[in-house]
A = this chain, B = another copy of it.
Amino acid sequence: MSENTIIYGKNAVMEALEDGKREFNKILIANNSRSDAKLERIKELAAQKGIVFQFTAKEKLNQMLPEGRHQGVIAQISPVKYTNLDDFIEKYKGEDTALVILDGVEDSHNAGAIIRSCVCAGVKGIILPSRRGVLINSTVEKTSAGAINHISIIKVNSLPAAIQKLKENNYWVIASDHHAEDNYYDINYTNMNFALIMGAEHSGISKSLLKLADFKVKIPMLTNFNSLNVSNAAAIILFESVRQKLKGKRGL
């Protein structure tokens, strides 16, 4: 991890939280850190701003920086500003808007490739959960080939709450699930808002989110080797939506 994507040490993290110019992904605090006024202030500011702080083995922090330097606190910084979901919904009201939700995707290369495909496919926003899965880091930025600057990136503390809000705002929620009965090309993506949920590389979409979906779709295979890479799966579904939009639903 390059140093320009982290801030470390109690003073530096506290000051960055106070001035509010940097965009935080999360704050890692060593398990064995002794509580003091600065650490308490960091936790208080993080809680106020809705920034996740995670207690982490000291050894993990040591892998990122020599122990003497981090003082038990490392903040991961995002290269982009995150957008608020309410602001996003407001901004795109009245347009047919597509969103992608990543539920626990861990691999930075996959996340970057998905964001790249999203921008090509006219998707306006991507929702990332703050605790589970990857946020925007320098690998995501690089793999996205600059696409992170052409899409709203929305970080939320609760995916179920975000999905609920989208449904209340006239979004159809589509889950990519290989146990689904419907094929991804048998649903209509045109003339509507939709949010497509893609699940984690191994475990797929959480059950609690699957329950909230309006549609569940699978990508049918021609062999029993049922194991698409998640970024390829996202591209296949998103470009079916593009095909339908460009062909004006002919073929459904």
From B147, B226, B245, contact of A225 by CB (8 A):
B147
Flag whether A250 is at the interface (Cβ < 8 A): yes
Residue of B whose beta carbon sits closest to that of A113: B229
Q: Which B residues lie within 8 Å of A220 (CB)?
A: 242, 246
Residue of B whose beta carbon sits closest to that of A236: B239
From B116, B227, B232, B246, contact of A183 by CB (8 A):
B246
Number of A positions contacting B (CB below 8 A): 41
Main secondary structure of the interface of A (DSSP, over half): helix
Q: Which B residues lie within 8 Å of A185 (CB)?
A: 243, 247
Flag whether A25 is at the interface (Cβ < 8 A): no
Q: Interface segment, A117-125, A130-138, A164-172?
A: A117-125
Q: Contact check, A242 vs B221: say whether CB atoms are below 8 A apart.
A: yes
**Residues 230-252 (chain A) with a chain B CB within 8 angstroms:** 231-236, 239-240, 242-243, 245-247, 250-252
Flag whether A222 is at the interface (Cβ < 8 A): yes
Q: Which B residues lie within 8 Å of A113 (CB)?
A: 229, 231-232
Q: Contact check, A221 vs B251: say whether CB atoms are below 8 A apart.
A: no
Flag whether A150 is at the interface (Cβ < 8 A): yes
Flag whether A109 is at the interface (Cβ < 8 A): yes
Instruction: List the number of copies, as a whole number.
Output: 2
Known contacts A232-B116, A243-B185, A251-B250; A221 and B109 CB within 8 A of each other: no
From B225, B239, B251, contact of A120 by CB (8 A):
B225
Q: Which B residues lie within 8 Å of A234 (CB)?
A: 232
Q: Which B residues lie within 8 Å of A252 (CB)?
A: 251
What is the 8 Å Cβ interface bit string for chain A, positions 25-53, against chain B (1 contact, 0 not)?
Answer: 00000000000000000000000000000
**Whole-angstrom CA separation of A143 from B110 in the bound complex:** 11
Q: Contact check, B250 vs A150: say whether CB atoms are below 8 A apart.
A: no
Known contacts A117-B229, A229-B116; A239 and B223 CB within 8 A of each other: no
Flag whether A64 is at the interface (Cβ < 8 A): no
Instruction: Please name the 6 residue pairs, one residue from A and one from B, whose CB atoms are nearest each other, closest first.
Output: A251-B251, A122-B222, A232-B235, A236-B239, A119-B225, A113-B229
Instruction: Write 28 A-B pairs (CB below 8 A) sorted by A numbering.
Output: A116-B227, A117-B228, A119-B223, A120-B222, A120-B223, A120-B225, A120-B226, A121-B222, A122-B222, A143-B229, A145-B227, A145-B229, A150-B223, A150-B225, A183-B246, A185-B243, A185-B247, A220-B242, A222-B242, A222-B246, A228-B235, A229-B235, A232-B234, A232-B235, A236-B236, A236-B239, A250-B251, A251-B252
